[in-house]
Copies of this chain bind each other. A is one copy, B any other.
Amino acid sequence: MDKKNHIIEAAKGLIGRFGFKKTTMEDIARAARMGKATLYYYFKSKEDILREIIEREGNRLRKKLLEAVANGRNTREKLEKYTFTRFHFLRELGVYYRTIKDELYSHLEFIEKERKKFDRFDLDILEKILKEGMEAGEFKIKNPRYYAFLLLQAIRGLEFPILTGEALSFESREIDLDKALSTLLNILLYGISRSEA
């Protein structure tokens, strides 16, 4: 298990720097100071190593998100902590995500699977936040899961440029994303009319 971690760490570094295709099994073996065949004792394929890395990163982010949300006192705070956490994690992972995305023309099924898992998680957590808001009497909506979905897409509209590596710019200045996110939350919660009240 400890060895497995060791391999994962080595692989993560290399893949992050050079991309998945450019990183060879020999490279990983060398970085982990062991023979190539040994890797196959712990992992059944090169793809399997990537699968594990992605799975772990996913779990790490989910854990972070749950912790972040737990600390919020009301809907506003929870949403803010949620989006910020998500956001900084994505930024941190950005390069990684992109190199992999670019290389894997053919999207691997486990990446697709992880993406779906995350979609569900996002919806679950947002739905929960909305339901708690309703219980606290903050507002009343009929279909919280549908609302969660719309919120999620709206938020993604802002974070999308990060994933593609473009800068989000407004009036040709690069934008402060935390601030933008915060204002967007205000709009979503209170509406344009009341968002500055």
Contact = CB atoms under 8 A, between A and B. Distances in A.
Interface of A: 130, 133, 138-142, 145-147, 149-151, 153-158, 160, 168, 170-171, 180, 183-184, 187-196
Identify the 7 closest CB pairs spanning chains A and B, nearest first.
A157-B157, A191-B191, A139-B193, A154-B154, A190-B191, A153-B157, A156-B157
24 contacts: A138-B193, A139-B192, A141-B192, A142-B196, A145-B171, A146-B170, A146-B183, A147-B192, A149-B170, A149-B180, A150-B158, A150-B180, A151-B192, A153-B180, A154-B154, A154-B157, A154-B158, A154-B187, A154-B188, A157-B157, A189-B193, A190-B191, A191-B193, A191-B195
Per assembly, the copies of the chain total 2
Nearest to A158: B153
> Which of A133, A149, A180 counts the most chain B CB atoms within 10 A?
A149
A192 B187 contact: no
A161 to B, nearest CB: 9
Contacts of A170: 146, 149
